[in-house]
């Protein structure tokens, strides 16, 4: 907390001194000609802290601002964004803290953030060592952090708190696209053979449909229409992050295009086993609860990849989505059809991700996905 004291000059007039502690803990002060100015500054210090208040004082040039700080703008943004889960809200706050935006700009009124501030922050991030890898922060991470900053300032523009967005148009680190890992048929078959038999149908579903993890693990028996020929699967829900990172909130898929319906081979439906109640999950862990990504990856996926000898590099579960897309592309399935099946918001996303894999377009259909299932034998009966 700042303190205020009146000082008497040699000529008998008065000045007012505001004292406080800066970010290093050192005591510092500023002197003002009027008590009104001193009280105003003391309130800013109490609200923003000494360092940000000093920056604020240097920038306002005699006028006040009632704009919220960057941190306060985040609170207002997530309060109004009703489609954001609690887990995503927590992620946003962690990003601000982790990126240094909270410590560098978080306590500054949002209308006083300048383009130079943004450039300086980007420079700081480019020279920051990653706690996870020990190397430089990746360009993708910086771009994601910048996107959140720009979103919050744009929100402030819409709310009338500032006139422009200084995060727009700044030069960002160039992002090199990592080479996509596309499994071969032999690698997929080897991983499938090494997988715990209880989870082989789950693996087959991911490889044949290309659904996202959160979509596949939220699938219910009522989402599979086995009465049509061929059967049809509807994707209309997905697991999302809840509080403290728990995947316990069932909501809509990642994008509006994620709500989709597509045909699957009859053989896939047969391998899923005896249907349960319409609201029962198709894929469950050993305890009957939803399959948790962390546990599945550590206990099932990594072991299967190691036993199969697919290690250099070891694929991710998500690479089964790429495997499906590349398999369809190699058979000549049109890009727009693959885009709809994947649930991409725009075909531009599909082209940008898989365009380099595109062969000459030829007629292809459901038998392409069925060929993936033909790579693996019929699952033996699992007793529990």
Q: Tens of pLDDT along 134-179?
A: 888 989 999 999 999 999 999 999 999 999 999 998 999 987 766 7
Question: In 10 A of CB 186, how many CB atoms?
Answer: 11
Which pLDDT score, from 0 to 100, does residue 132 have?
76
Rounded distance between C-alpha atoms, residue 124 and residue 103, angstroms: 12
Alpha-carbon gap, residue 5 to 16, rounded angstroms: 6
- Return the CATH architecture of domain 70-158: Orthogonal Bundle (1.10)
Spatial distance between the Cα atoms of 272 and 107, rounded to a whole number of angstroms: 54
Sequential pLDDT tens for the chain (384 residues):
789 999 998 888 899 999 999 888 899 998 988 887 788 788 878 877 888 888 777 766 545 567 888 989 999 999 998 877 777 888 899 999 999 998 888 877 888 888 989 999 999 999 998 887 788 898 999 999 999 999 999 999 999 999 999 999 899 998 776 677 889 899 999 999 999 999 999 999 999 999 999 999 999 999 999 999 999 999 988 887 665 555 554 655 655 556 889 999 999 999 999 999 999 999 998 888 899 998 999 999 999 999 999 988 899 999 999 999 888 888 888 888 888 888 887 777 777 777 666 544 434 456 667 778 888 877 666 555
pLDDT attached to residue 364: 47
- CA 183 to centroid of chain Cα atoms: 24
**Sheet (strand 14-21) strand order:** 3-8, 14-21, 27-32
343 vs 211: CA distance, rounded Å: 8
DSSP conformation class of 67: P
pLDDT tens, residue by residue, 284-317 = 988 888 999 989 999 999 999 999 999 888 999 9
Upper half-sphere CA count for residue 74 (Cβ side, 13 Å): 22
Decide: helix, strand or coil at residue 15: strand
The CATH number corresponding to 185-374 among 1.10.3210.10, 1.10.443.10, 3.30.420.10, 1.25.40.390 equals 1.10.443.10
CA-closest candidate to residue 374, choices 326, 327, 338, 319: 327
**Which residues neighbour 360 within 8 Å (Cβ) at sequence distance 6 or greater?**
332
Nearest Cα residue to 379 out of 201, 216, 209: 201
For the stretch 288-294, contacts whose Cβ atoms lie closer than 8 Å and that sit 24 or more positions apart, written own/partner, are 290/217, 290/218, 290/239, 290/247, 291/199, 291/202, 291/217, 292/247, 293/213, 293/217, 293/247, 293/317
CA 264 vs. chain centroid, Å, equals 29
Sort strands 260-263 and 224-225 into parallel, antiparallel or unpaired. Answer: unpaired
Q: CA–CA separation, 170 vs 185, rounded Å?
A: 44
Sorted by sequence, the CB contacts under 8 Å of residue 117 that are 6+ apart come out as 104, 105, 108, 166
Residues 82-99 as b or e (16 or more Cβ within 10 Å = b): eeebbbebbbbeebbeeb
Contact yes or no for 164/170 (Cβ under 8 A): no
Per-domain residue ranges of the chain? 3-60, 70-158, 185-374
Residue 167, CB-side half-sphere exposure with 13 Å CA sphere: 25
Global pTM reads: 0.63
Distance CA(220)–CA(175), nearest Å, equals: 38
């Amino acid at each position: 907390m700042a303190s205020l004291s009146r000082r008497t000059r040699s000529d008998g007039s008065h000045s007012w001194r505001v004292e406080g502690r800066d970010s290093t803990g050192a005591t510092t002060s500023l002197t003002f000609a009027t008590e009104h100015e001193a009280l105003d500054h003391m309130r800013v210090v109490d609200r923003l802290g000494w360092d940000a208040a000093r920056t604020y004082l240097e920038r306002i040039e005699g006028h006040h601002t009632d704009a919220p700080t960057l941190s306060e703008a985040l609170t207002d943004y997530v309060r109004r964004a009703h489609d954001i889960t609690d887990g995503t809200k927590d992620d946003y706050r962690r990003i601000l803290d982790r990126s240094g935006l909270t410590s560098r700009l978080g306590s500054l009124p949002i209308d006083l953030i300048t383009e130079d501030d943004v450039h300086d922050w980007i420079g700081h991030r480019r020279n920051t060592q990653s706690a996870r890898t020990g190397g430089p922060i990746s360009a993708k991470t910086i771009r994601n952090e910048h996107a959140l900053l720009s979103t919050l300032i744009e929100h402030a523009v819409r709310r009338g708190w500032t006139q422009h967005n200084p995060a727009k148009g700044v030069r960002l680190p160039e992002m090199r696209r990592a080479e996509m890992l596309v499994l071969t048929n032999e690698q997929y078959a080897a991983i499938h053979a090494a997988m715990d038999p209880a989870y082989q149908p789950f693996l087959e579903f991911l490889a044949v449909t290309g659904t996202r993890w959160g979509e596949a693990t939220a699938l219910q028996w009522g989402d599979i229409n086995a009465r049509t020929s061929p059967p049809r699967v509807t994707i209309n829900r997905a697991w999302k992050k809840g509080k403290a990172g728990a995947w316990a909130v069932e909501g809509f898929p990642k994008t509006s295009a994620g709500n989709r319906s597509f045909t699957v081979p009859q053989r896939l439906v047969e391998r899923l086993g005896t249907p349960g109640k319409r609201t029962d999950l198709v894929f469950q862990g050993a305890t009957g609860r939803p399959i948790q990504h962390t546990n599945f990856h550590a206990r099932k996926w990594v072991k299967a990849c190691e036993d199969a000898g697919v290690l250099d590099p070891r694929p991710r579960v998500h690479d089964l989505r790429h495997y499906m897309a590349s398999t369809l592309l190699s058979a000549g399935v049109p890009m727009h059809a693959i885009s709809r099946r994947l649930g991409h918001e725009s075909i531009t996303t599909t082209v940008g991700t898989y365009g380099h894999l595109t062969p000459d377009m030829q007629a292809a259909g459901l038998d392409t996905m069925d060929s993936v299932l033909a790579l693996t034998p019929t699952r033996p009966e699992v007793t529990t």
